[in-house]
């Protein structure tokens, strides 16, 4: 019996070792969408409040995985400094949950649309000196995060958008009044709040039927269904 018990123990240990060692680690691909739940205070809260992300997740930012000149995966994002490439580790560490995991969901184009990514990345590379679109205007040549990705894939698809544009709102759902943070923000820019103007935000983009959510690094915050 001791011999049999010893053999069974060895077999179970080998099986457990095989299962742990053979579990594939998730691998990012060029063209993956990184939907991020950023903790930036009232701005991010206002963005998340008006458009729910896929599966009720809250997203206030999105970047696109692409390679730099050295062939390393980085994240293209449109932020206050403009259109930039950010090291992947820096992007993932920006916003962490209570377990210190990135609050990031990975979206990936469905297989039949993968062919659009190279041309979308070419478009983005042509905009690497573009400024940040502080007034969220689809008509100028500056870009916010989801706006740049929207136009990149529209260009790659011969002018036909694969993401849905909707009238943007800056009104708090619980009060039916413009968020105070937006009143102050646009007042300081000396421009009216662009209520109802066309746009796209990360939450809306994450719900696209052209995308699958293929990985969660951590658990982004959720809104009650």
In eight-state DSSP terms, residue 178 is B
Residue with more model confidence, 218 or 201: 201
Summarize pLDDT for 161-201 with one digit per residue, the tens: 999 999 999 999 889 999 999 999 999 999 999 999 999 99
Architecture of domain 27-216: Alpha-Beta Complex (3.90)
In eight-state DSSP terms, residue 71 is S
pLDDT over 70 (residue 1)? no
Sequence ranges of the domains in the chain = 27-216
């Amino acid at each position: 019996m001791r011999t049999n018990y010893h053999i069974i123990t060895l077999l179970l240990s080998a099986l457990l070792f095989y299962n742990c060692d053979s579990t594939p680690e998730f691998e990012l691909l060029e063209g993956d969408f990184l939907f991020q739940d950023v903790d930036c205070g009232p701005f991010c809260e206002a963005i998340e409040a008006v458009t729910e992300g896929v599966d009720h997740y809250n997203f206030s930012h999105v970047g696109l995985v692409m390679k730099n000149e050295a062939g390393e995966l980085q994240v293209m994002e449109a932020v206050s400094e403009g259109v930039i490439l950010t090291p992947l580790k820096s992007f993932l560490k920006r916003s962490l949950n209570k377990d210190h995991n990135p609050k990031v969901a990975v979206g990936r184009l469905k297989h039949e649309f993968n062919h659009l990514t190279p041309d979308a990345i070419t478009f983005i590379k042509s905009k690497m000196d573009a400024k940040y679109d502080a007034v969220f205007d689809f008509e100028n040549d500056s870009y916010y995060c989801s706006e740049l990705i929207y136009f990149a894939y529209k260009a790659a698809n011969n002018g036909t958008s694969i993401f849905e544009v909707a009238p943007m709102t800056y009104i708090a759902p619980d009060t039916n009044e413009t968020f105070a943070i937006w009143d102050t923000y646009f007042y300081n820019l000396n421009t009216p709040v662009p209520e109802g103007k066309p746009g796209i935000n990360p939450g809306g983009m994450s719900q696209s039927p052209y995308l699958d959510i293929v990985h969660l690094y951590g658990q982004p915050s959720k809104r009650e269904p």
